[in-house]
């Protein structure tokens, strides 16, 4: 029997959205979707919403690159909270103090550091659609949608505590309107001018997470459009943290979109694959 590979890893979280990170700059690690799912499993593995590998950037477009998987082993184009964690992970290992860039499937992301807070510059949002009525088990639900690196549906609710996340989340995530890949689903409560609360059902996790960075961003941008909020917008997530979304809006287009929030180290360890 061949010896099992040992993986040195770090566990991090961004506003409660948690990740396993590992250094694969030497390119000697090749994970299968099944291995990713096992590592992210909360009872049989380390436990995480996603897994991130640090790899070289072969295109020359950025300083570094990542490989990112959801907890079910599926590949994701982008993750806002994961991006902040990845940036601090790189900073800890390289000592970087200024901005760093890294390539994702959604494009090149820029990260800047402010103590334990990280600000990431996101790729330009795409495909904004407003006021789409979808049939669900509770009747028609008005959804808005935008792609902030990954697709997001946004539903405004009067009380986030009473939002039917577990019931409506899967229905809208798999709705024919978002076929074939589906969407993430955000339930948004307006707290006041420039302030919202968001709960997110995440595609690939297939459940509610304590935070979703791209979902926070999508929710803030749609709130800005519908409620005329100016930048920045404060967003309280299910884990209790407050993230900040900045942007510029010119001629009906959002540009210079940023997401600021915490990125914390939890522990490090070694596990056999």
The residues annotated as belonging to the active site are 79, 212
Which residues are paired to 119 by β-bridges? Answer: 112, 260
Rounded to 5 degrees, what angle do the CA atoms 256, 260, 263 make?
140
For β-strands 139-147 and 126-136, DSSP reports them as: antiparallel
Pair of tokens at residue 7: 């993986």
* Helix/strand/coil (H/E/C) assignment for every residue in 72-125: CCCECCCCHHHHHHHHHHHHHHHCCCCCEEEEECCEEEEEEEECCEEEEECCCC
How far apart are alpha carbons 83 and 70 in whole angstroms?
Answer: 13
How far apart are alpha carbons 158 and 213 in whole angstroms?
Answer: 22
Q: Rounded to a whole number, what is the largest CA-CA distance in the chain?
A: 64
For β-strands 184-192 and 195-202, DSSP reports them as: antiparallel
Q: Which residue has the tokens 């961003």?
A: 217
How far apart are alpha carbons 179 and 259 in whole angstroms?
Answer: 28
How far apart are alpha carbons 241 and 184 in whole angstroms?
Answer: 20
């Amino acid at each position: 029997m061949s010896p099992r590979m040992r993986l040195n890893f770090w566990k991090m979280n961004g506003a409660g959205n948690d990740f396993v990170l590992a250094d694969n700059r030497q390119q000697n690690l090749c994970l299968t979707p099944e291995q990713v799912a096992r590592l992210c499993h909360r009872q049989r593995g380390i436990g995480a919403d996603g897994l991130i590998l640090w790899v070289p950037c072969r295109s020359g477009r950025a300083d570094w690159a990542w490989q990112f998987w959801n907890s079910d082993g599926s590949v994701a184009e982008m993750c806002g909270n994961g991006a902040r964690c990845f940036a601090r992970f790189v900073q800890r290992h390289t000592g970087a103090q200024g901005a760093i860039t890294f390539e994702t499937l959604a494009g090149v992301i820029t990260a800047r550091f402010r103590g334990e807070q990280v600000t990431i510059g996101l790729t330009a949002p795409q495909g904004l659609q407003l006021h789409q009525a979808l049939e669900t088990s509770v009747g028609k639900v008005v959804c808005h949608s935008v792609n902030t690196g990954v697709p997001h549906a946004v539903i405004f609710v009067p009380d986030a505590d009473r939002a039917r996340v577990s019931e409506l989340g899967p229905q809208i995530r798999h709705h024919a309107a978002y076929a074939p890949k589906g969407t993430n689903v955000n339930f948004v409560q307006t707290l006041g001018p420039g302030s919202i609360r968001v709960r997110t059902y995440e595609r690939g996790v297939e459940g509610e997470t304590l935070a979703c960075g791209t979902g926070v961003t999508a929710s803030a941008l749609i709130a800005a459009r519908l409620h005329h909020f100016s930048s920045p917008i404060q967003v309280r997530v299910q884990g209790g943290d407050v993230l900040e979304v900045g942007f510029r809006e010119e001629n009906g287009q959002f540009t210079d979109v940023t997401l600021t929030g915490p990125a914390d180290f939890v522990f490090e360890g070694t596990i056999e694959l």
